[in-house]
Structure 1
């Protein structure tokens, strides 16, 4: 495994942290694809105060990246320079708050849906079909099965890059398709999600329907990263990919899923480069067949070990 490029000088230690700090930390085991190089420094803060103090003292020249469930992430083979933040259990609390829930950033989306169902709150069932955490869901306006975060978010608390804790109302986040406008370098701490009174049996039935649909149509038990490309306006990415003859296409240990061809799979010890290069080949073929330039939905971060073929 390659070591991540060095950004943090050896003579300049990181700011104090009550949580855990790990140098040259392997990231591949944390990602759903199980690929990628190490983080130069991986920190797990003890709580929000610990994180805020750390960021306030960290030089602004040091890159910072947050990873959650890493379910829609390719970490490139050269690793991640700078500081990678991973929030632990103290950031994953869920509490009922009147007609909604106050949810920690590290809470899994499916867990939040289950809490809402137990409280008789409808409107959050869609979260049970999203394999990530609430922090990531807010940052990318995650959505599925007719719902998205923009429809249910009231506010979000953040730690800004300079260490200040701020609250932003949903209206200020300029939500768009798979996008929210968060301050650069900010870390989501918690959010309030709005529900509505509902029949627990009907909520449970809707969640069972979503889970069955996901199981039937997606390779949920594979090493994958969720939907690879965004749906273009009034189109389905998988239909374009299928129409370009990419179902089952392989490069190295990476493969386009035959079950749902908007999913890439690590089937045989793929590298991040295998996956990214295969994705770019899919983009090239789709563009040649339809004239549509697919946009990545999976986030690709870090330093490549090589240079994947890029489609402009």
Structure 2
């Protein structure tokens, strides 16, 4: 399914854009599940100023969706109407060491790269990012954490651009962090963040990162087409435990499967559709609710339209 090409209209309204616009860009290659339809328009801004200009000029009626590394994302088979914004390049992909054992990182930086740079600079306290398969933008939006650390523990401030094209700086208090959540409005696209670490020895930090890597490889299907943890933990319990107790380990729908290794991970065995994966997740939620009364909350973002039915195709 292809959408109407609106790139010409956008360029007429924003002639000074420096980023790249692509019409009807397939999005499956940008997601770890390798599923999903097209973006009506994919925009890759050159930097924060270019992003702000684009949003200021873009008509309000055109929807905006932001994607990062695509690690905890399902793009539905019918694709995404409007503009999909994907940050990358030098404008959003650099990490800089600051005084006082701090780092500034663009939000397209992979979490694990931030951890590596911190280790090389002798900055301790950020090694837990080695175990998070996403980017800094996603870590800010969902207060990502692993192996005893969370984003709220280390964030100083973040910058972002709202739907009107206005740039904001958010203090730690402004972020309103809670478990896998922040209170910053959904229309804000984070562009960079400053993190606070503490003095450490590079060899000790690297050893901790190696331990985290080994633990992930031993317990998670990280070499599969997966989206990471599917559901938030229904504290005080673990999501995988209530999924396992409901008999869902290894459950399949089409070519989507609940991982045998870690049953809070869904995997694409090769030819699953987005509908297979999302449908399997909903079936897991149904069985867990029936077995324990627990309502699992999706941790993976699901965006876009379902594939049209044969009756809808003309």
- The bucket for the TM-score relative to the shorter chain is over 0.9
How far the C-alpha of 1:263 sits from its partner, in A, is 0.3
SS at match of 1:226: strand
1:189-228 paired onto structure 2 within 5 Å: 189-228=191-230
Whole-angstrom distance in 2 between the partners of 1:124 and 1:105: 15
From 111, 114, 117, give the equivalent of 1:115. 117
- Structure 2 counterpart of 1:13: 10
SS at match of 2:2: coil
Report whether the alignment pairs 1:89 with 2:89. yes
Q: Say whether the 8 Å CA contact 1:273–1:306 is kept in structure 2.
A: no
SS at match of 1:89: coil
Whole-angstrom distance in 2 between the partners of 1:102 and 1:169: 14
- Structure 1 counterpart of 2:312: none
Q: Say whether the 8 Å CA contact 1:28–1:37 is kept in structure 2.
A: yes
SS at match of 2:65: strand
RMSD of aligned alpha carbons:
1.5
Whole-angstrom distance in 1 between the partners of 2:189 and 2:172: 16
Whole-angstrom distance in 2 between the partners of 1:93 and 1:216: 30
How far the C-alpha of 1:9 sits from its partner, in A, is 5.9
From 137, 154, 172, give the equivalent of 1:152. 154
How far the C-alpha of 1:199 sits from its partner, in A, is 2.1
Whole-angstrom distance in 1 between the partners of 2:308 and 2:251: 21
Normalised by the size of structure 2, how large is the TM-score? 0.94
Q: Say whether the 8 Å CA contact 1:157–1:166 is kept in structure 2.
A: yes
How far the C-alpha of 1:258 sits from its partner, in A, is 0.2
Give the 3 Å change call, closer, same or farther, for CA 135–248 of structure 1 in structure 2: same
Whole-angstrom distance in 1 between the partners of 2:8 and 2:33: 34
- Where structure 2 has 5 or more consecutive residues not aligned to the other structure, the ranges are 310-314
- Alignment length (residue pairs): 304
How far the C-alpha of 1:10 sits from its partner, in A, is 8.0
From 249, 252, 260, give the equivalent of 1:250. 252
Whole-angstrom distance in 1 between the partners of 2:93 and 2:7: 33
- Structure 1 counterpart of 2:133: 131
1:158-307 paired onto structure 2 within 5 Å: 158-305=160-307
Give the 3 Å change call, closer, same or farther, for CA 19–258 of structure 1 in structure 2: same
